Chain A
């Protein structure tokens, strides 16, 4: 009975206090890569321990370990199933299905939107020498449209008019980093998590934090090409040139105070020293441990039994 309890305790910790602490911490801005690894470990280990707790609890009466118990259950060796166990098994199966289905749906919806957007961009923009596409719009924007095979970096005419060549380079390097580091894959995982568990207080926050961390990672790549001051000016100038559309559904979630915090955080971290290497390694080690604990709790008894 230790495994289900331990898994349940871990699931609760990873669902609420741990992500809350991480969202409030200030060090992630000093090491966005390590923080991103930790966020992913929390999300995956959290789901694994939630499902694992339900399944191990449901299977406990039928065998000494989950694997043997499943075999016994499937071979018809079990004559009587308590309702509590049946309920836990059903909940575990439902949760697994729910999470997977939402992942598939979120990926499919993103892909559909992305393709439509790409079609529009290709019609409305002209190719530049750098491989980016120039959008004939006065609003200063730059973004990347990630794709499985090819990604597009889009800059607007308004942005070209606003920024110096060096600032433009910062923007392009930033967008290229999103593409080469496949930030879209990380983001889609967290969007799926939020879509699956929208009532989770932390799911939205996690999605936002992860979105911010990939911006910081992209900034760090841009900093290798241009001085910090140039990047800072680019961040501010692009922010200044954007007229926020009137309040619309969805705008409140992303705009408002969060945007100033985001901008401020991206600017102020340029002066902060990066996290020392040993501490970074420690964060990654914690992430690995978070993944190892539910995995061991789930599979170690069966592995031992097989030996």
Chain B
């Protein structure tokens, strides 16, 4: 039994993998091995829409869904926050190390004799 979070991830992976828009029934078919009810998929899609990860087009019936941004764009955002581009990154993160330039790190690595 997959959690709701895992299901969100599976659905996003499917939407990221295609340029086209998908309906809940398309997604249900793709995830057929999990035997999900279409209402479950619609619930997850609406959660993803509320979080801004998915855009819904209401012109067509059934409604069509697509990813709001690519996986790479989201990953870039995330790494931007983690690696310190964002001005207030300590607000969310406690990282393992502070940043050093490759040259500084090389010096330290040499000092450690590795």
B85 near A243 (CB under 8 angstroms)?
no
A91 in contact (CB, < 8 A): no
A119 in contact (CB, < 8 A): yes
- With an 8 Å Cβ cutoff, the count of chain B residues facing the other chain is 42
A144 near B80 (CB under 8 angstroms)?
no
B77 to A: closest C-beta gap in Å? 7
The 8 A CB mask of A89-105 against B (1 = contact, 0 = none) is: 00000000000000000
Residue numbers in A under 8 Å from B93 (CB-CB): 117, 143-145
**Complex Cα–Cα for A174 and B96 (A):** 7
A187 in contact (CB, < 8 A): yes
Residue numbers in A under 8 Å from B88 (CB-CB): 109, 113, 250
A240 in contact (CB, < 8 A): yes
Question: Which residue of B78, B97, B108 contacts A124 across the interface (Cβ within 8 Å)?
Answer: B78
B5, B97, B99 interface centre (most CB from chain A within 10 Å): B97
The 8 A CB mask of B2-22 against A (1 = contact, 0 = none) is: 000100110010000000000
**Complex Cα–Cα for A171 and B97 (A):** 10
A258 near B98 (CB under 8 angstroms)?
yes
A160 in contact (CB, < 8 A): no
Residue numbers in A under 8 Å from B84 (CB-CB): 244-245, 250-251, 254-255
B30-80 contacts to A (CB < 8 Å) = 51, 53, 71, 74-75, 77-80
A146, A214, A259 interface centre (most CB from chain B within 10 Å): A259
The 5 closest A-B pairs by CB, nearest first: A250-B87, A240-B105, A259-B98, A262-B98, A142-B96
A-B contact pairs, 28 of them (CB 8 A): A114-B91, A117-B92, A121-B78, A122-B9, A123-B12, A124-B74, A139-B83, A141-B82, A144-B93, A145-B93, A171-B96, A175-B94, A215-B97, A215-B98, A235-B97, A236-B114, A237-B109, A239-B100, A239-B104, A239-B105, A245-B84, A250-B85, A250-B87, A251-B84, A258-B98, A260-B100, A263-B108, A264-B108
Which B residues contact A (CB, under 8 angstroms)?
A: 5, 8-9, 12, 51, 53, 71, 74-75, 77-102, 104-106, 108-109, 112, 114
